[in-house]
């Protein structure tokens, strides 16, 4: 199987014409993403002449194709560094080891945002990715319960002389939640700046290790707290969860437009329809559209946003949340299958999104995040 480590090892033998240090050691390779047989590499380049680009690109493609014995598709994105961008690259905001931060949002509460976040996290983890979940839902942090770790307290660990918070790990997923720091029945009505300060600490002062994905379970709605989270965190893409119900859809629409705002500008990877219908076990061919039919699907086509999939109302999804073991953990179940499919759609959109963004946009996202969503 193709892995990032393998690609990184091969790239470690390549260097620019005028530099003896290889492109891994000199930090030129910003990100590597491997998706099936597709490899996308983001390469920092100081002298972006056509010849320099072509030469290094040829070296990379030749080396990978010669050393991998099946068909691969290699793409090299050049990230041109200007003086100004270079300083942003070096800013303290960059999170070296986190490749993709994905915001999971919903316009309305209770539509299943946390349930979907928890299940996508275990799906991605079972696919072999390193996954973290940051539960930023200050109004109702439910991730600890869904992973059966409520009441636990993250330890402080020493990382290079700095004290950092160690996320709690459950089912292979690393978790930090505002809920670890508040009592379960305590209403957390934090003001925006206070909440975003706490969230920033949970990202920047935490020992996440190397993560492919950090899923951020946002509070519902589109208030000030969202703006401060969006502006202070390097988010690669967002996903909007909605039920098909009109009232939820109206709020989901607001959520999408929040991400698209000029000063936020976070790519929306897609919409997920939760509680799409109900099928009783004894009548497997009957579907009851309790909250309306295909509302979120229609909204996504209305807004020209990818539809990532639908999740029916499944009793075991609710039960699994309650016992603290996400339903997607259960092998060979419909839930496992549904969340796998949605995770894959989300990954495809992440990839497409970055390929489609014009180069300047890639640079913008790269510099904002310090690590582009492709790694
Ligand atoms: P939110 O994070 O949007 O407030 P939750 O994830 O807490 O919503 O979900 C609200 C309730 O609905 C929970 O009791 C959860 O177990 C249940 N739920 C969510 N999605 C489903 C589903 N697809 N099938 C059955 N129950 C679900």
Query: What CATH number has the domain bearing residue 59?
Result: 3.30.300.130
Ligand 1 pocket test: pick from 109, 112, 242 the residue with the most ligand atoms within 8 Å of its Cβ: 112
Q: Is the CB of 290 under 6 A from ligand 1?
A: no
101 Cα–ligand 1 center, Å? 22
Name the closest-CA residue to atom 20, ligand 1: 112
- pLDDT band with cut points at 50, 70 and 90 for residue 81: low
Q: Tell me if 104 is assigned to some domain.
A: yes
Report pLDDT digits (tens) over 170-208: 999 999 998 898 765 555 556 656 776 788 788 888 999
In this model, does residue 149 exceed pLDDT 60?
yes
The per-residue pLDDT for 188 is 58
Q: Are 149 and 200 members of one domain?
A: yes
- Is there an atom of ligand 1 within 6 Å of 196 CB? no
- Work out the average pLDDT over 92-102: 72
Q: In Å, what is the CA distance from 285 to each residue of 275, 276, 282, 318?
A: 17, 15, 9, 21
Q: Is 86 inside a domain boundary?
A: no
Q: From the CA of 322, give the closest atom in ligand 1.
A: 16
- Residue 248: count other Cβ atoms within 10 Å of its Cβ: 26
The CA 321 to ligand 1 mean position distance, Å, reads 8
Do 73 and 206 lie in a common domain?
A: no
Sorting pLDDT into bands at 50, 70 and 90, what band is 370?
very low
Are 59 and 195 within one domain?
A: no
Q: How far apart are CA 374 and CA 213, in angstroms?
A: 10
Most confident of 70-74, 191-195, 222-226: 70-74
Number of structural domains the chain divides into:
2
pLDDT for the residue numbered 226: 81
What distance in Å separates the CA atoms of residue 195 and residue 221, rounded to the nearest whole number? 15
Residue in this structure with the two tokens 């439910």, named with its chain if needed: 142
- Let me know if residue 41 belongs to a domain: yes
Q: Residues 61, 105: one domain?
A: no
Average pLDDT of the residues of the chain: 84
Confidence at residue 85, expressed as pLDDT on a 0 to 100 scale: 39
Q: Which residue range forms the structural domain that includes residue 357?
A: 91-374
Find out whether 8 and 24 touch, Cβ atoms under 8 Å.
Answer: yes
Q: Ligand 1 pocket: which of 105, 109, 115 to mutate (most atoms <8 Å of CB)?
A: 115
How many C-beta atoms lie closer than 10 Å to residue 175's C-beta?
26
Residue count of the chain, please give it: 375
Atom of ligand 1 nearest to the CA of 217: 2
Q: Which residue would you say has higher pLDDT here, 273 or 225?
A: 273
- Decide which of 366 and 344 is more confident: 344
* pLDDT of res. 93: 43
Strand 211-217 with 98-106, pairing: parallel
Same domain for 124 and 232, yes or no, is yes
128 CA distance to ligand 1 centroid (A)? 26
Ligand 1 proximity of 110 Cβ (cutoff 6 Å): yes
């Amino acid at each position: 199987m193709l892995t990032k480590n393998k690609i990184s090892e091969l790239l470690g033998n390549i260097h620019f014409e005028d530099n003896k240090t290889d492109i891994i050691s000199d930090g030129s390779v910003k990100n590597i993403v491997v998706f099936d047989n597709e490899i996308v590499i983001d390469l920092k380049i100081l002298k972006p002449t056509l010849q320099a680009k072509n030469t290094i690109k040829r070296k990379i493609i030749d080396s990978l194709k010669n050393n991998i014995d099946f068909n691969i598709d290699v793409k090299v994105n050049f990230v041109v560094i200007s003086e100004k961008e270079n300083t942003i690259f070096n800013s303290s905001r960059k999170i070296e080891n986190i490749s993709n931060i994905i915001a999971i949002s919903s316009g309305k509460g209770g539509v299943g945002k946390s349930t979907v976040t928890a299940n996508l996290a275990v799906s991605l983890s079972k696919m072999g990715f390193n996954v973290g979940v940051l539960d930023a839902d200050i109004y109702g942090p439910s991730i600890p319960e869904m992973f059966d770790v409520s009441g636990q307290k993250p330890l402080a660990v020493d990382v290079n002389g700095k004290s950092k918070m160690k996320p709690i790990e459950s089912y292979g997923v690393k978790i930090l939640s505002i809920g670890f720091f508040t009592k379960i029945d305590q209403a957390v009505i934090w003001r925006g700046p206070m909440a975003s300060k706490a969230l920033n600490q949970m990202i920047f002062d935490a020992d996440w290790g190397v993560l492919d994905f950090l899923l951020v379970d946002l509070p519902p709605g589109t208030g000030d707290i969202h703006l401060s989270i969006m502006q202070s965190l390097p988010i690669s893409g967002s996903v909007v969860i909605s039920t098909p119900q009109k009232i939820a859809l109206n709020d989901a629409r607001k959520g999408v437009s929040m991400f698209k705002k000029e000063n936020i500008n976070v790519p929306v990877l897609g919409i997920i329809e939760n509680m799409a219908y109900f099928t009783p076990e004894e009548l497997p061919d009957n579907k009851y559209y309790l909250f309306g039919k295909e509302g979120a699907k229609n909204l996504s086509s209305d807004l020209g946003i990818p539809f990532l999939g639908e999740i029916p109302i499944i009793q075991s999804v609710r039960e699994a949340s309650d016992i603290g073991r996400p339903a997607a953990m259960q092998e060979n179940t419909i839930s496992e299958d549904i969340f796998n499919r949605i995770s894959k759609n989300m990954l495809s959109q992440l990839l497409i999104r970055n390929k489609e963004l014009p180069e300047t946009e890639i640079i913008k996202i790269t510099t904002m995040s310090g690590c582009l969503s492709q790694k």
